[in-house]
Chains A and B, each alone.
Chain A
Amino acid sequence: MKCFFIVLLLFKGLSASGKVFHVGAQHPYKTIKSALAVTNEGDTVYIHKGLYKEGNIIVQKAITIIGIDRPILDGDKKYEVLSIKSSYVTIKGLRVQHSGYASLDDPGGIKVYEATKVTIIDNELFDNFFGIYIQFSTNCLIKNNSIIAFGKEEQTIGNGVHCWKSDSLQIIGNNINGCRDGVYFEFVNNSVIWRNIVTDNIRYGLHFMNSNNDSYFTNIFSRNGAGVAVMFSKKITMMNNTFNENWGDAAYGLLFKEISDCHLSGNHFNKNTAAIFMDGSNRTIVENNVFSNNGWGLKIQANCMDNIIQKNNFIKNTFDVSTNGTLLLNIFSQNYWDKYSGYDLNKDKIGDVPYRPLSLYSVIVESNPTAMILFRSFFVSLLDQSEKKIPSLTPENFIDNKPLMSALRL
């Protein structure tokens, strides 16, 4: 009897998937709009290969749209291409290109308005103003899309994935290239960003504004204006990401601005101008990260409080750490510094002499940036050496009391 009910339920589930419509040159429906007009909740629309220039296509019912052999939806540089105004919509396998440009209503390639459980999988978004735009939505999944734009300057291009006032989003496995911000979060909570590859964006790879309780894991951020910017947010977890070659005059791997209670662990920072820039960040734990070949490893401003920086590797950075004041209210402990020259008599793998990671020259440069013209001069190395032996100008408490003798395996 129980079995019978389950089978019955299964059949009910199948029947709920509704009717199937085919759109294409050799199919009953020639345009997407004509097919959408006759669909009901739960129907599926298959769009076959072809170029569809139909202006703004609005999806107002809970349907599934699947592209076969990647049909092209073109906005003609005038329209928002696909507007989703219903929950439970799935969009799969399309190529959406050339959306309009407008600074007032922000047209996107695919824009989701006040919906829940919208799934956007395996699409190509090419040369749109905004790639995927999500507003007032919850529980949406954005997976395996490729978003490519050709932004020249910040004002004339939108973000790859733009999320506004949303909750519980999943952004997984996307490739985002050439937008303003790769992924932009404003008032977005309880969301996860996982396995994305975000490269060559003009401003930030990933940008949090006023968003709390989010996480991002295992992403790669390369050659963006700045890798990731976390601003005015709380409780963001950042793990196992790679920040590469965010290199330029005002470039950072990771930028913290007025954040608190975040956790940063297992990330790799390689060849960034400044790997992490911390401004007004509190109670953040930075551990098990690798900082290598950066201009600055960690720029920590004097307005940061109660951060714990422990068990990181600092290798081959020009400056490991710099700060702009004399006050330090953060804890450095058990890091590996490749510039450390102390000894370990009791062989507990922790150096017996405390290490001062702040060089005098980095303090000078922070207060007087012009001093950078003395970079790598004999005078500067002499200053640094004398300061190392007799610390007098650098902050007294800027110290790692338990420096590690060998690098952690990270």
Chain B
Amino acid sequence: MGRIFKYVMLDILKNKFVIAYMVMMSLVAWSAFTLEDNSAKGMLTLLNLILLTVPLVSVLFSAIYIYNSSEFIELLVSHPIKRSKIWLSLYWGLCGSLVTAFIIGAGIPLLLFAEFTISLLMLVVGILITVIFVSLALLSTIIYRDKAKGIGLTILIWIYFALLFDGLLLFLMFQFADYPIEKPMVLMTALSPLDLSRILLLLQLDSTAIMGYTGAIFRNFFGNTVGMSISFTLLILWSTIPFLVSLKKFKKKDL
């Protein structure tokens, strides 16, 4: 497993796209912190980056990479290596390289300019989002053999979590406006890793007071250690379950 992982990782890190991604991240992050006059604004810019760009790049790049290396996978399968090892090393390779790019791109300015605990939290959330969307990409490449369909599905996944899910939440809020829906809404956010991460980070960015009653409920839930550990557990589940499903399918798949 080690050798395949190393090969995949180096292969991806040499990829021009990942280098461009890293450079773009660091450009945005550095300019966010140096151009804005206070670091809170820079944090918000970075928050948008983590919630939009990171998932898009992770999900698209991973899907394309898996489709492009289908011949390589077939070659590996013909060797006496366990299928789970192959899939696992692909997963780790993708995660490792994209996370490295994220840490170098966004992590360094974050740790330099922002308050340590918040920047650390942001870094961890960014890493988790990368891993979650890599595993979602692996799942969609397993579901569709056809490249066009698979990549279409990954884009759909991104649009759903970045945009449609929030629209759905808003729709539900207006449908059930007469009921006390704050607590069910806390549960609903668990269904989208991006919403979960956004709220988790916003609660640390000192803007909870303007979130009023809803903010107070969220702070009561997410603000303490139990809530924090629950939400991190949820994020970790989001990053492992799609991958485990894809692993199970990959083991039995007729390539």
Contacts and interface: CB of A to CB of B under 8 A. Distances in A.
B170 A295 contact: no
Contacts of B210: 273-274, 295-296, 318-319, 372, 375
Contact of A370 (B52, B182, B195, B198): B182
Contacts of B167: 379
B37 to A, nearest CB: 10
A365 to B, nearest CB: 8
A380 interface: yes
A248 interface: yes
Interface stretch (B100-108, B111-119, B134-142, B212-220): B212-220
A13 interface: no
Interface of B is mostly: helix
Interface in B144-171: 162-163, 166-167, 169-170
Contacts of A373: 169, 185, 189, 195, 199, 211, 214, 218
B181 A370 contact: yes
Contacts of A371: 170, 173
A378 B182 CA distance: 21
A334 B182 CA distance: 39
A318 B195 CA distance: 20
Contacts of B198: 376-377
Contacts of B57: none
Given A377-B51, A379-B163, A379-B166, A372 B212 contact: yes
A372 B214 CA distance: 7
Interface in A362-395: 364, 367-380, 382
Q: Which size class do A's interface residues fall under?
A: 20 to 34
Contacts of B228: none
A318 B214 CA distance: 17
B177 interface: yes
Contacts, number: 77
Interface residues of B, number: 32
Given A249-B209, A318-B210, A378-B51, A370 B185 contact: yes
Contact of A251 (B47, B177, B181, B209): B209
Contact of A374 (B52, B162, B166, B212): B166
B54 to A, nearest CB: 12
A382 B48 CA distance: 13
A247 interface: yes
B207 interface: yes
Interface in B192-225: 195, 198-199, 202, 207, 209-216, 218
Given A368-B174, A368-B177, A375 B211 contact: yes
B44 interface: yes
Nearest to A317: B210
Interface string A276-303: 0000000000000000000110000000
A322 to B, nearest CB: 11
Nearest to B182: A370
Interface string A234-273: 0000000000000111010000000000000000000001
Contacts of A369: 212-214
Contact of B52 (A247, A248, A378): A378
Nearest to B177: A368
B166 A376 contact: no
A367 B170 CA distance: 12
Interface in B29-71: 44, 47-48, 51-52
A158 to B, nearest CB: 27
A132 B84 CA distance: 79
A4 B216 CA distance: 76
B221 to A, nearest CB: 11
B35 to A, nearest CB: 15
Contacts of B44: 376
Sort A-B residue pairs by CB-CB distance and give the 8 closest, nearest first: A295-B210, A379-B166, A372-B211, A372-B214, A273-B209, A377-B166, A370-B173, A370-B214
Given A295-B210, A379-B163, A382-B163, 12 more contacts: A248-B209, A370-B177, A370-B182, A370-B214, A372-B211, A372-B214, A372-B215, A373-B214, A374-B170, A376-B47, A377-B51, A378-B166
Interface of A: 247-249, 251, 273-274, 295-296, 318-319, 364, 367-380, 382
